Amino acid sequence: TLFRSVKGRFRCGNGYVANAKIKLVDKDPGSDDRMDDDDVRTNSEGRFEVVGSASDGMGMDIDPVLKVYHRCQYGKAPGSGKKRRAIFFIPDKYIGTASKHAPTMDLGEINLEVQMEKSPDSWRNE
């Protein structure tokens, strides 16, 4: 079983992104399995921490992805924009096991007004 932990804070312009849904999933091809069991949401100050675990019965590596579902949109008050999703790929150095703990991935503070270009997975490792 592999463990991952991610924390951070989301802003929307000058405000915070409160109550955004956070999912930690295994993004292996053909998979969208959740690694976390809880309904994780940002608090009133936009902070979150999510811990997840997964095991791949086929002996393959897992590819953790953090998905954030929010309503932050440039020029709109926090929570009043259209529904959006931000995706973050978590680096392998943040993988841990029961005997070898990995550090928590700290995303820091991110303003979700930003528009991120979608890119094919093949570009991720270039």
Q: CB neighbours of 66 closer than 8 A, spacing ≥ 6?
A: 6, 22, 23, 24, 50, 87, 88, 90, 107
pLDDT at 76: 64
Q: What is the pLDDT of residues 89-104, one digit of tens each?
A: 888 888 787 667 778 9
Is residue 30 predicted with pLDDT exceeding 70? no
Per-residue pLDDT band for 6 (boundaries 50, 70, 90) equals very high
Sign of CA dihedral 75, 16, 41, 124: positive
Q: What is the pLDDT of residues 31-86, one digit of tens each?
A: 446 666 678 999 999 999 998 877 655 445 677 889 999 888 766 666 666 788 88
Distances (CA, A) of 84 to 3, 79, 87: 27, 11, 10
